[in-house]
Amino acid sequence: MATSFQPLSSIAPAALIEYLGREGNSAEIVQWKYFDSRFNRNRERGYAWVKDGKIGGFVGLIPFQVAMNGRIAEAAWTCDWSVQDQTGKGTGILLIRQAQENYEFLTQLGGNEATQRIISRLAAKTVNDAGIMFYLPLRLGAILRTARRRAPHLPFDAVDLLNRVPLRRPQRMASATAVIIEPGVSHVLSSMLETKECRDMYSRYDLGYVRWQIGDCPILTSETCYLAEGSIPRAAALVWRHKISPGFWGMVLWSRKGADRDADVLLSHVIRHVYECHGFLVSVVVSRLETDVIELLKNQQFRPAPRRRPLHIIASGKARGEPVPELSPLSFLDTDFAYRFAQPLDLSRTVYV
């Protein structure tokens, strides 16, 4: 019975498509997520446990960089971590060990209870309440669709007219500054991504990363919103929705230091835009450390979800033994939440080891 651990670069795409297909992932999602050569840039995107020529376990990786204590380090978000072959006891941890050979930090945000038990034993830093999802219901469809997921046999949302009943009517903003809305992930966001962060540890995402995560995802439609004042915006937002389930919108909001008023004005415009596009609900993920953003969202009547998302950081190489700060800010750009936010996966079929 031949077994081995292999990097994803040595695995045929069809083999991973078959494996992740059993987890409910479509072929087009797997192709985009793991085999986009523009984003991969020769970086290892995952490791597989292969038994008798077939994948029995897998951990996916989304590479990025972190700034920590004044230096830049290579990191990767873990995702799609599972072992389907139940004879592979301990294989899950060994997959993580394989991934540690390429990245100084492996990070995970969320995950089911079994996954968290394992990853917390390996992590140099665990913050159980790090990530908070805020949501703003705009129409009755937000409630009816949620009820449908909990009881799939009951067609709560069968009447479209009922779904569109407003729960609130956002007022039109009387602002001296116009808001620009561009389709897709605009180059305007480059300047926002280059903003210097003052925290001890933060993600460094470039425009290519954001375009891959949101703009290139085959099941998302996105727009960039920003205030048209000056050549460089002081506040910007990226919003997106599923092509199949367009009522649910995700958002990432950026603002420069001292631009709280601009961020508030922009957020009001974005809410109104989503409402006018018949959106049911807007969701945002933030770090518990982003107190100014949390206050802004609460002022706009966003509600926090009752369950927070734990953050785990595994350190390797140079970072091993070094105190690891809490990674902040957090958003839907972290891990693979951006395309899953409105359709939580059913993990009941996956055996985590």
**Domains of the chain by start residue, with CATH:** 3-131+310-340 (3.40.630.30), 133-306 (3.40.630.30)
Q: Report pLDDT digits (tens) over 166-195.
A: 777 787 766 656 899 999 999 999 999 976
Per-residue pLDDT, 174: 62
pLDDT band at 74, cuts 50/70/90?
Answer: very high
How would you classify the pairing of strands 71-83 and 105-109?
Answer: parallel
Give me the mean pLDDT over the 271-296 stretch.
95
**What is the spatial distance between Cα 237 and Cα 104, in angstroms, rounded to a whole number?**
30
Per-residue pLDDT, 47: 97
Per-residue pLDDT, 158: 53
Per-residue pLDDT, 232: 82
pLDDT greater than 50 at residue 353: no
How would you classify the pairing of strands 248-255 and 125-137?
Answer: unpaired
Q: Report pLDDT digits (tens) over 200-250.
A: 899 999 999 999 999 999 999 999 999 877 678 899 999 999 998 889 999
Q: Report pLDDT digits (tens) over 305-345.
A: 999 999 999 999 777 778 999 999 999 999 999 998 754 33
pLDDT greater than 50 at residue 349: no
Q: What number of helices (H) and strands (E) belong to the chain? A: 12, 14
Give me the mean pLDDT over the 11-36 stretch.
96
Per-residue pLDDT, 142: 72
Query: Cis before residue 329, ω within 30 degrees of 0?
Result: yes
Per-residue pLDDT, 238: 98
Q: What is the dihedral of CA 8, 10, 15, 16, to 10 degrees?
A: 10
* Structure tokens that stand for 64 in this block: 């990025």
Per-residue pLDDT, 90: 87
Contact 316, 106 (CB under 8 A): yes
Per-residue pLDDT, 345: 33
Residue of higher predicted confidence among 166 and 13? 13
How is residue 147 annotated by DSSP? H
Which residues partner with 226 through β-bridges?
Answer: 180, 236
Per-residue pLDDT, 117: 83
Contact 106, 100 (CB under 8 A): yes
Q: Report pLDDT digits (tens) over 94-123.
A: 999 999 999 999 999 988 787 888 888 899
Per-residue pLDDT, 155: 63
pLDDT band at 351, cuts 50/70/90?
Answer: very low
Per-residue pLDDT, 115: 81
Per-residue pLDDT, 228: 78
N- to C-terminal Cα separation, the chain: 20
**What is the spatial distance between Cα 53 and Cα 335, in angstroms, rounded to a whole number?**
29
* Structure tokens that stand for 252 in this block: 């990432």
How much is the mean pLDDT over the chain?
A: 88
**DSSP symbols for 303-345:** EE-SSPEEEEEEE-GGGTTS--PPP----TTSTTHHHHTTS--
Per-residue pLDDT, 135: 94
How many CB atoms neighbour CB 218 within 10 A?
12
pLDDT greater than 70 at residue 347: no
